A = this chain, B = another copy of it.
Amino acid sequence: MLAAKAVEASSASAGSDGLIHGLTAQEVRLLTKESLDARSLAYCPYSKFHVGATLLTRDGNFISGANVENASYPVGTCAERVAMSSAIMKGYRMGSFKAVGVATNLEEPCSPCGMCRQFLREFCELSTPVFLHDKHGQYIVRTLGELLPMSFGPEHLAA
């Protein structure tokens, strides 16, 4: 079912401006490629579940991550958080990101876990598109706000 949606979304989502959720066709192609490629970097001897994630910055860089597991399972980290942490190390901050890509080896598009949605939320606008890929590179798109509605964030701590 999701796979069917994936095909539909990937072919039908170009807007009247010729952009796909704000990205050019070339940017989407690269985001997809980088997200899928990143899976091979995963260190996941425990789950055998390879995840790749890529951030596209507004200044045109692609920054990738993969999951890094640990014998003590809760100590490991996920692809999206690895990608975002690397981006923060390069000086990117809230306002720097144009899109997020995620890819697994599943037949259907797979979504970030709740912890990663929360991690992304610290640095991405709620309108940021997240491209959820299946193993073949087909994707569906949801905004971060759609994936984490009524989200908890920095403004709540300041209240």
**A54 CB, min distance to chain B CBs, angstroms:** 11
**A144 CB, min distance to chain B CBs, angstroms:** 10
- A152 and B110 form a contact (CB under 8 A): yes
A72-B78 contact, Cβ under 8 Å, with A89-B41, A117-B114, A157-B47: yes
Q: In the complex, which of the residues A111, A152, A157 has the most CB atoms of chain B within 10 Å of its own CB atom?
A: A152
- A113 and B66 form a contact (CB under 8 A): no
Q: Which of A86-133 contact B (CB under 8 A)?
A: 86, 88-89, 91, 93, 104, 106-107, 110-119, 121-122, 132
Number of copies: 4
**A147 CB, min distance to chain B CBs, angstroms:** 6
A147-B149 contact, Cβ under 8 Å, with A72-B113, A77-B77: yes
Interface size counted on chain A using CB atoms at 8 A: 59
Interface on A for B, CB 8 Å cutoff? 38, 41, 43, 45-47, 49, 64-66, 68-78, 81-82, 84-86, 88-89, 91, 93, 104, 106-107, 110-119, 121-122, 132, 142, 146-154, 156-157, 159
Q: A74-B75, A81-B85 are in contact. List 4 more A-B contacts (CB 8 A).
A: A71-B157, A73-B73, A77-B77, A114-B115
